[in-house]
Amino acid sequence: MGENAKHTAIPTGIVLAAGNNERFKRHYGPQFVKQGLEINGQSLIVRILEQLETLGCQHLLIVVGEHAQAIQELINDQYAGKATLEFIPNTMVERGNGYSLHLGLKKLSDYVESMPTPSESEQPSRRFCHLVMSDHVYDAAFVAQVQDYVQAGNYPSTLFVDPHIQQIFDLDDATKVLHEEGKLQELGKTLTHYNALDTGWFILDAQMLDISSALTKHQRQFGVSSVIDAYQKHLRFHCESIDQGRWQDVDNPAMFEAATKLFS
């Protein structure tokens, strides 16, 4: 990678924030919005929006569900960045986060088509977007490695993976990844043979929309992992190891406590 001309920064980020937060609701009630949880005085979702902006994202697509109004108010109150924000409603969150991704990819396609004709150097990066989850926490070293990877140019669709399996807080809940020399082979929570973990940060080509559209027609419920798995059967999908950066998924109160300790 990087042997030809470098790409410009990827201008768009998709943030999935439509989950029902079921494991937090059991502890804090039905109106609880976990994206508002704070690490070092900053909410989870605003933290990730600001990190995407530091990577050069000028347009942020935020897919929201049951707590759409609360999340939008939170972001409007706390986010002081310059990127444009667009909130995409998912009224069928029961279909899974793969459907949320599909909605984000559709909006990305519309956005790219509406933009002025790009220069030759800009054109490759416009085909791609960052994809992140609103309840994941990353440190500056992690984001710096993503930045270095993008700046090297000539990237395919990519999942950033963690090879430090024994350092994960809750291995049973983690999405496992099997790759061979960076080429994705399999991913899923129930894999028994794997060599890395899914960190929840992706770079996706717009061609992913064709895959998500097909799954939308044939599956009532599907996850992001299902979209990625279907894509890699037809097109190259790369796994990039994060060697120095730290990250933590926040799926339940115990995970949030672990994240607070890790990032404080």
Would residue 214 count as lying in a domain? yes
Would residue 142 count as lying in a domain? yes
Lowest mean pLDDT among 7-11, 14-18, 226-230: 7-11
Confidence of residue 16 (pLDDT cuts 50, 70, 90): very high
> In CATH, what number is assigned to the domain containing residue 133?
3.90.550.10
CA distance 172 to 260: 20
183, 189 contact by CB (below 8 A): no
Counted domains in the chain: 1
Read off the DSSP letter of residue 189.
Answer: T
Would residue 164 count as lying in a domain? yes
User: Considering the chain, what is the average pLDDT of its residues?
Assistant: 90
CA distance 184 to 139: 24
Q: What is the pLDDT of residue 118?
A: 57
237, 157 contact by CB (below 8 A): yes
CA distance 131 to 264: 25
Domain that holds residue 22: 12-263
Confidence of residue 117 (pLDDT cuts 50, 70, 90): low
241, 247 contact by CB (below 8 A): no
Would residue 45 count as lying in a domain? yes
Question: Per-residue pLDDT tens for 196-225?
Answer: 999 999 999 988 999 999 999 999 999 999
CA distance 85 to 47: 14
Q: What is the pLDDT of residue 174?
A: 93
30 pLDDT exceeds 90? Answer: no
Would residue 24 count as lying in a domain? yes
Task: List Cα–Cα distances, 163 to 69, 135, 242, in angstroms.
Answer: 37, 21, 7
Would residue 5 count as lying in a domain? no
Would residue 2 count as lying in a domain? no
Unique residue bearing structure tokens 């600001």? 50
pTM for the full predicted model: 0.92
103, 64 contact by CB (below 8 A): no
Confidence of residue 1 (pLDDT cuts 50, 70, 90): very low
Confidence of residue 72 (pLDDT cuts 50, 70, 90): very high
Q: Residue 38 has which token pair?
A: 């704070």
Question: Per-residue pLDDT tens for 34-62?
Answer: 999 999 999 999 999 999 999 999 999 99
Would residue 156 count as lying in a domain? yes
Name the percent of the chain lying above pLDDT 90: 75
Q: What is the pLDDT of residue 168?
A: 87
8, 118 contact by CB (below 8 A): no
Q: Residue 217 has which token pair?
A: 């027609």
Q: What is the pLDDT of residue 23?
A: 73
What residues pair up with 203 in beta bridges, in sequence order?
Answer: 130, 158
